[in-house]
Chains A and B, each alone.
Chain A
Amino acid sequence: MKTKIAITTMTVGVALLFAAQLPSGSAQESHVGPLTGNASSGKPLYKRFCIGCHGPAGDGQGENAPWIDPKPRDFTAATFKCRSTPTGTLPTDDDLDNAVTRGFVTTNMPSWNPLTPQQRADVVAYIKTFSPRWKTDKPGIPIHIPAETAVTLQSVLHGRELFQKMECWKCHGPAGHGDGPSAATLTDSKDQPIRPYNFATGSRFKCGETNQDLYRIFMTGVDGTPMPSFADVIQPNDAWDLVHFLRTLQTMPTPELDIWKKYSSEHASEIKPIGPDAASGGN
């Protein structure tokens, strides 16, 4: 009799233990600023606003997906483009909230700013139920972005050297038009063709538009795409120089472009071209 009770108690205990470990989607939370998002509240919002593209299973196979390029994010892979965290790590809840709020320019993903902050936090919590990685892994630690250095001619010129040396031009092209020698062959992690960013098309990058965003993008990399992380190979000051140079590739006026235009008109003969012909040139 005692044995029987013991066994029953054990069975219940074990069942409870397993229940706690199941990917019980409704228990997932998000923490965005002071807000706590709940997956159970996010689910109906997801079903109303997100399911058409991202699909019922969150795998990016919604009914609109065949007509969309780039393809909707597959949340089951837990690989995210716009993160403040190192390559290969999960993004923070704030990163996901930023992405939902900002939307992705040049894609079908709109800004969900019309939702309330609480609704967005709830949706973020629900998105985190699609991959078991959210149960086993912690988000990465956001990279440190030091204060921006001054925009000077020296900084722009050094950034230009780095654009050559780090071989950014191989994908983004010598003038940043997204037409480098490797550009045509690029595919994302789902084997879909993908184009490198064309800096002449504007200043709204997928992961934000400020200089800090630009710094973050090449330090963290854009996971799931050919864009790698440079965090291990570029020093912070050099990274700022590269940001300043990238601003000269835009067509709209920037302080960096003014500096570059003035310099290049006065020193045209001294400027080494970017690209394969400059490979032998020292840095």
Chain B
Amino acid sequence: MNRKLLCLLPAAAVIFYAVKAGAGAPIPPPAGGAISGKVTYTGTPPKMKPIDMSKEPTCAKQHTTPVMTENVTTGPESSLQYVVVYISEGDSGGAAPAETVRYDQRGCQYLPHVLPMQAGQVLQIFNDDQTSHNIHPLAKVNPEWNKSQPAGSLPIDTKYDKPEFIPVKCNIHPWMHGYFVVLNTSHYAVTGPDGSFSLKGLPAGKYTVTAWQEQYGTQTQEVTIGATETKTANFTFKALPY
């Protein structure tokens, strides 16, 4: 008898997940609970350095103040910008949303510096500059490709099927660095200049929240929220100057 029940368990699980995925896909996230917080650092982060773009005059002249390096972008009250905070467990993910995510190469910078997206979501890459870029996402789990995109070319449409933190670079302009963050969830946020983030529209449940910083890696917290509850989850990274 027990064995019979055991045999049925995987089938039940498959049905459960199928129903869950089916229900999650077409319905927009309800105005449910939320997890918000702030990401800060302790220790000494590296100093942001001005980037010398003099080798690319068409880009240099677009910036009245020098563009700074962004690998560790700090703000007031020890805040950390460009940290991706997302639900790593507790969200089934569901189908990729129909809307495309946009990535721009403008003034020899990647905008935004860190671009989160859902696996399978269409990504459009634009070159707004008067110069050629080669866009080279250094994927390891997903295929690695490298395409030239001269001034005035059409946007490149692409997508990534597997979750991965993908460094992006332009070999022609070695100061250009960015990240594609491919996730299995639609619940993600990037911290702003004050280090704050907010994950909204979460159904009641128990979640693992992960914060990822390109130089300092990931941190996780478990958060359980009710249907309309808002909870705080703050993250602190230990910053090293190198």
Chain B interface: which size bin? 20 to 34
Query: Which of A88, A166, A185, A223 is most buried by chain B, counting CB atoms within 10 A of its CB?
Result: A88
Contact A3 B4 (CB under 8 A): yes
A76's nearest neighbour on chain B, judged by CB, is B140
Contact B134 A181 (CB under 8 A): no
- B69 CB contacts on chain A under 8 angstroms: none
B167's nearest neighbour on chain A, judged by CB, is A189
- B154 CB contacts on chain A under 8 angstroms: 232
- In the complex, which of the residues A3, A166, A226 contacts B146, with contact meaning CB atoms closer than 8 Å? A226
| Interface SS, B side | loop
Contact B153 A232 (CB under 8 A): yes
Task: Count A-side interface residues using an 8 Å CB cutoff.
Answer: 34
Contact B7 A228 (CB under 8 A): no
- A87 CB contacts on chain B under 8 angstroms: 145-147
1/0 contact trace for B151-173 toward A, CB 8 Å? 00110100000000000000111
1/0 contact trace for B203-234 toward A, CB 8 Å? 00000000000000000000000000000000
Give A87 Cβ to nearest chain B Cβ, in Å.
Answer: 4
Query: Which of A86, A171, A223, A228 is most buried by chain B, counting CB atoms within 10 A of its CB?
Result: A228
CB of A153 closer than 8 Å to a CB of B: no
Known: A167-B150, A226-B134. A185 touches B174 (CB 8 A): yes
Contact A232 B146 (CB under 8 A): no
CB of B55 closer than 8 Å to a CB of A: yes
CB of A77 closer than 8 Å to a CB of B: yes
CB of B148 closer than 8 Å to a CB of A: yes
Contact B134 A228 (CB under 8 A): yes
Tell me the bound Cα distance from A186 to B134 in angstroms: 12
- A189 CB contacts on chain B under 8 angstroms: 138, 144
Contact A166 B144 (CB under 8 A): no
- B55 CB contacts on chain A under 8 angstroms: 181-182
CB of B191 closer than 8 Å to a CB of A: no
1/0 contact trace for A264-278 toward B, CB 8 Å? 000000000000100
Q: Which 8 A-B pairs have the closest CB atoms?
A: A88-B145, A226-B171, A228-B134, A185-B174, A88-B143, A167-B132, A228-B148, A87-B145
A and B contact pairs by CB, cutoff 8 A, 21 listed: A7-B7, A87-B146, A88-B143, A88-B145, A165-B150, A166-B132, A167-B132, A170-B132, A171-B171, A182-B55, A186-B171, A189-B144, A221-B146, A223-B144, A223-B145, A225-B146, A226-B172, A228-B135, A229-B145, A232-B154, A232-B156
A interface residues (Cβ-Cβ under 8 A, vs B): 3, 7, 10, 77, 79, 86-89, 133, 137, 165-167, 170-171, 181-182, 185-186, 189, 221, 223-230, 232-233, 276, 279
